[in-house]
Amino acid sequence: MKKLTHTDDSGKATMVDVSFKKNQLRTAGAEGFITLSSKTIKLIKENNIKKGDVLTIAEIAGIQGGKKNSELIPLCHPLQISKIDVKAELTENGVKITSEAKCIGQTGIEMEALTSVSIALLTIYDMCKAVDKGMTIGEIKLIKKTKTDLY
């Protein structure tokens, strides 16, 4: 098997060459959390955040962010994404974001899933920053990654 490399002959960074790899169905899931004050949670529940419906806008932003991943992370391959699903769930102390991404390709889609979660969380932060100065974003992690032969 050909060795994957991240540098060219001069030692400069390059994208990993995946041209020899076969297309596979690839999926990835990620999650993250933003801690919010009880006042902010109440405002979100009652849809009284001035910027709008926090959970729906965060989900849409997460989808957009995942689609833009290769423009944000320099050495990521652009992928033909077939699915990104982002869910925002209000809990007693914040919002949990989960993301699932899927493609058929020669490289994994975990960065798109992680970016989706990150952008959704940042969107919540942006929408709530006027009312909550103590928000914390964290616990962003990959929770699954699969690849399946197509035939």
Is 8 among the residues known to form the active site? Answer: no
In DSSP terms, which residues pair with 83 in a beta bridge?
A: 102
How many C-beta atoms lie closer than 10 Å to residue 148's C-beta? 9
Q: Choose, from 8, 9, 53, 126, the residue flagged as catalytic.
A: 126
DSSP notation for 74-89 = TTPPP--EEEEEEEEE
Q: Compute CA distances 73 → 2, 44, 111, 114, whole Å.
A: 25, 31, 9, 11
Separation CA 114–CA 28 (nearest Å): 9
CB 29 within 8 A of CB 142: yes
CB 113 within 8 A of CB 26: no
Distance of CA 124 to the CA centre of its chain: 14
Q: Which residues are catalytic?
A: 126
